Structure 1
Amino acid sequence: MKILIVGTLNGQVGAASQIAVKRGAKVIHTDNINEGLDTLRQGKGIDLVLVDIQLDIETFISNLNGERINTPVVACGVATDAKAAVRAIRAGAQEYLPLPPDAELIGAVLSAVAEESHAMIYHDPIMDDVVRLAKQIAPSDASVLITGQSGTGKEIMARFIHRNSRRKDGPFIAVNCAAIPENLLESELFGHEKGAFTGAVARRIGKFEEANNGTILLDEISEMDPRLQAKLLRILQEREIDRVGGKKPVPVNVRVLATSNRNMEQSVAKGEFREDLYFRLNVVNLQLPSLKERPKDVEILADHFIKKYAKANDMAERPLSPTALNKLLRHSWPGNVRELENTMHRAVLIAGPTEIGEEAIMLSGSPSAQPSADTGQATGNPGDFVGQTVADMERKLIIATLDHCLGNRTHAANVLGISIRTLRNKLKLYGDEGFNVPAAGGNG
């Protein structure tokens, strides 16, 4: 992970940098927002920007938006500067990090922006053939389409392929095609030239150029606009990209991996996805099984997440009780591994001092996991549904799911089977209507 620190952070740059480096990050520092913008334009693979709250964050974020640079921004300042923190969040900063820097807070922010664990963890035999094929094709430059239900670990599989490829020492760049607005995705992928559009005040290097000599992951490729699909097809054929507003093509040496939670053949048949692009991407197809199909992985994954979140929250590791494990094994896991991770994160936080009991396992569909109608969310009594509109029920389902996912917008959208863009639009509507929307958490 690469972090750009902009400003002096009240003299705390060194401390913040050391903490980030110990967490496995690479750190670049600039003194002011102009230098920070220049660094981002150069396509150095920056994953997160920490900005001194004493700088003009509003102008900085406005310039990022104007130049279609989609990099998360976290404001940093003294803990007592509450008004400045509010201004930064309103300007578009995703988080506010108080100074002096705290190791656990910085660790949580890094984990939220780019989840740190990409280990391939499995024990169920059904995964053996999938992993064996992944290892076999990893050294090639073939395009790979990774398909499966939401939450099955498609990005983790993509990173596994990259780590086992001849490009492992090159960059791995992931782009979520569903999370970036259509009007920004073209610049995000291909970059742009100065003057290409209003706000393009300098050349910006896109993700394909950042991934040169490495791998690019196009997450949820099925959400890509048809016009961009045509551009992507040309890249796969010609191995060159056209920056927005550019006058000549730029050669790139990039391996393309793509994921989708949809039936791509159906999308092609409906005219939603180009058939020629589908065949170009689908040189090799890795179909990930659902967690329901790999029951022997439930216990080993649950144990992994217990260790992960006990460490992240500075809590003692506690074993699963037999009844708690049995409850996990009986569940159908519609949200797959991601749902299991959220469930264990919650269980670690609320369990007793000696073990994680059955009462700490709050599953979707169980009464203990569903707030009452007084909170504006759904209950398990069918009689409560009578007299309510479809819009009311949809709102309650969305808010209940978001609460279950600890506020993580991306995870909730995947569980609900809708795009992150649709979810954010609905949450904005609910907020404007005065409903209580859970605060953003995790990658949300």
Structure 2
Amino acid sequence: MRLLIVGTLGGQLTTATKIAMERGASVTHAPGVSQAMKVLRSGQGADLLMVDVNEDIGQLVELTERERIHVPLVACGLGTDARAAVSAIRAGAKEYIPLPPDPELIAAVLAAVTEEREDLIYRDAAMASVIKLAEQVAPSDASVLITGESGSGKEVISRFLHSKSSRADKPFISINCAAIPEHLLESELFGHEKGAFTGAVARRIGKFEEADGGTLMLDEISEMDVRLQAKLLRAIQERVIDRVGGSRPVPVDIRIIATSNRDLGEEVRNGTFREDLLYRLNVVNLKLPALRERPADILELASHFIEIYAKANGTKALPISQEGRQLLLANPWKGNVRELENTMHRAVLLSTGVEIDAASIRMPDGSPITMGAGQQTAARAAYAAEAVSRDMVGRTVADVERDLILDTLDHCLGNRTHAAKILGISIRTLRNKLNLYTKEGVEVAGPGDVRAGSAEA
């Protein structure tokens, strides 16, 4: 977490600085707007600006927007001056923090910037296998290509890789190649010298230099023009970059993570992506399954988002009703995790009872999400499977195995031979297990009988 504090406020921001550093933030100080812009252009970067309300916040917002520097800004002022707070918000600040600073408030602001980026929530085996591979390759400097549908969590996995790497204490810088016009992307990546083109009012350090020592994530790299791909390939191979308008190469030490929601092999065949660049990027491929392909994650993520948005709106985090859970499990989630997050945010706002029920789970326009007969059947089956899985959490394998064997034996009315066939084990193994359970004082059904209190009794 990189925090840039702008202004002085009679020393009160010094106290805020100490609190932020105690919470793990890396803090840089700039006495005014012009110095803050120099810091941002220099490549030191920031994840959050905390600005003295007496500074020209409107000018700072205008300058960062003009130079395409995207960073959230909060204003700070002495006391609870409502007029100053309103003026700061109108000028472009996201929040107003009264000073002297409350340590918990500072912590909450820092958490709001970093929390959603770093959370990794999963339960499904399909996602667990991806995470296991990510953990294996994270300590290396190998380039990683993360593929998957939009909204499936590619940036979250990228940040996870960085956090588990030897570069974790260095910057993690991301750039969306699809969001920046083609003629500006080169400058964003490699930086530029003053006067290199119209609007280049000062030297600007690009994302490669800003990420030096850390990780650079190239989001939706398939959208990059093939001509710029050649310069990117050279930067990755030789570990040097050339600023636009520059006269000498600049060495960089970074780890590259690229993401794409397209099949880059197909893009190579179509001539829109360089094959040699694909080989450089695709040392390891992490293919994220769509949310509909990892159903065990749906309710876990839904509960996670309820916690986040209940806290943000000052309400109690409510449980999801059985009908609501079935509805969530039946939805195809074409927008993946991003769509689920927005849906649960709405549900928190719309819920009026003691649970988040199906009526609260709605489309963006407020219309209800409906299920066909086939979806209802699938939802009930998924809910039952999820309930069984949930009941097993916290139990040992031996306990689960014992219950499975005894329940199967009850189902077979104590017939050892039939039970062994259903369980896929030998009759000898079954008898050994049953003898062990009997010695432990566990009731075992005899031939033609079931245990008292069992489901079959």
Is the TM value for this pair above 0.5?
yes
Query: What is the percent sequence identity of the aligned residues?
Result: 58
Q: Which residue of 1 aligns with 2:309?
A: 309
Distance 1:225 1:108, change over 3 A: farther
- What is the one-letter code of the residue matched to 1:79? A
Task: Output the CA distance in 2 between the equivalents of 1:55 and 1:365.
Answer: 40
Q: Which of 64, 79, 83 is residue 80 of structure 1 equivalent to? A: 83
Task: Output the CA distance in 1 between the equivalents of 2:315 and 2:85.
Answer: 29
Deviation at 1:17, TM superposition (A): 4.5
3-state SS, counterpart of residue 356 of structure 1: coil
Q: Does 1:97 align with 2:96?
A: yes
Q: Which residue of 1 aligns with 2:417?
A: none
Task: Output the CA distance in 1 between the equivalents of 2:260 and 2:144.
Answer: 11
Structure 2: segments with no counterpart, 5+ residues:
371-457
Deviation at 1:149, TM superposition (A): 0.6
Q: Does 1:227 align with 2:240?
A: no
Normalising by the residue count of structure 1, what TM-score does the alignment of the two structures yield? 0.72
Distance 1:169 1:8, change over 3 A: closer
Q: Which residue of 1 aligns with 2:190?
A: 190
Distance 1:109 1:179, change over 3 A: farther
Q: Which residue of 1 aligns with 2:342?
A: 342
* CA shift digits 1:40-76 (9 cap, x unpaired): 1221131222334433344434544555544444555
Q: Which residue of 1 aligns with 2:238?
A: 238
Q: 5 Å matches for 1:92-241?
A: 93=92, 95=94, 97=96, 99=98, 114-241=114-241
Distance 1:17 1:171, change over 3 A: same
State whether residues 145 and 257 of structure 1, in contact with CA within 8 Å, keep that contact through their aligned partners in structure 2: yes
Distance 1:27 1:308, change over 3 A: same
Task: Output the CA distance in 2 between the equivalents of 1:148 and 1:54.
Answer: 45
3-state SS, counterpart of residue 151 of structure 1: coil
Q: Which residue of 2 aligns with 1:431?
A: none
Q: Which residue of 2 aligns with 1:389?
A: none
Task: Output the CA distance in 1 between the equivalents of 2:363 and 2:102.
Answer: 33
- What is the one-letter code of the residue matched to 2:94? E
User: Which of 1 and 2 has higher RCO (CA within 8 Å, sep 6+)?
Assistant: 1
Deviation at 1:155, TM superposition (A): 0.9
Deviation at 1:167, TM superposition (A): 2.4
- What is the one-letter code of the residue matched to 1:215? T
Deviation at 1:9, TM superposition (A): 5.5
- What is the one-letter code of the residue matched to 2:133? L
How many residues align? The count is: 366
Task: Output the CA distance in 2 between the equivalents of 1:137 and 1:175.
Answer: 22
State whether residues 57 and 93 of structure 2, in contact with CA within 8 Å, keep that contact through their aligned partners in structure 1: no
Structure 1: segments with no counterpart, 5+ residues:
371-444
Distance 1:161 1:98, change over 3 A: closer
* CA shift digits 1:398-438 (9 cap, x unpaired): xxxxxxxxxxxxxxxxxxxxxxxxxxxxxxxxxxxxxxxxx
Q: Does 1:319 align with 2:322?
A: no
3-state SS, counterpart of residue 197 of structure 2: coil
Task: Output the CA distance in 1 between the equivalents of 2:311 and 2:85.
Answer: 29
Deviation at 1:95, TM superposition (A): 3.2
- What is the one-letter code of the residue matched to 2:83? T
Task: Output the CA distance in 1 between the equivalents of 2:137 and 2:160.
Answer: 11
* CA shift digits 1:236-268 (9 cap, x unpaired): 111111112211111111110011112222322
Task: Output the CA distance in 1 between the equivalents of 2:328 and 2:280.
Answer: 40
Q: Which residue of 2 aligns with 1:262?
A: 262
Deviation at 1:295, TM superposition (A): 0.7
* Alpha-carbon RMSD: 3.1
Task: Output the CA distance in 2 between the equivalents of 1:83 and 1:123.
Answer: 43
Task: Output the CA distance in 2 between the equivalents of 1:16 and 1:181.
Answer: 38
Bigger Rg, structure 1 or 2: 2
**Worse-superposed segment, 117-126 or 290-299:** 117-126
Q: Which residue of 1 aligns with 2:39?
A: 39
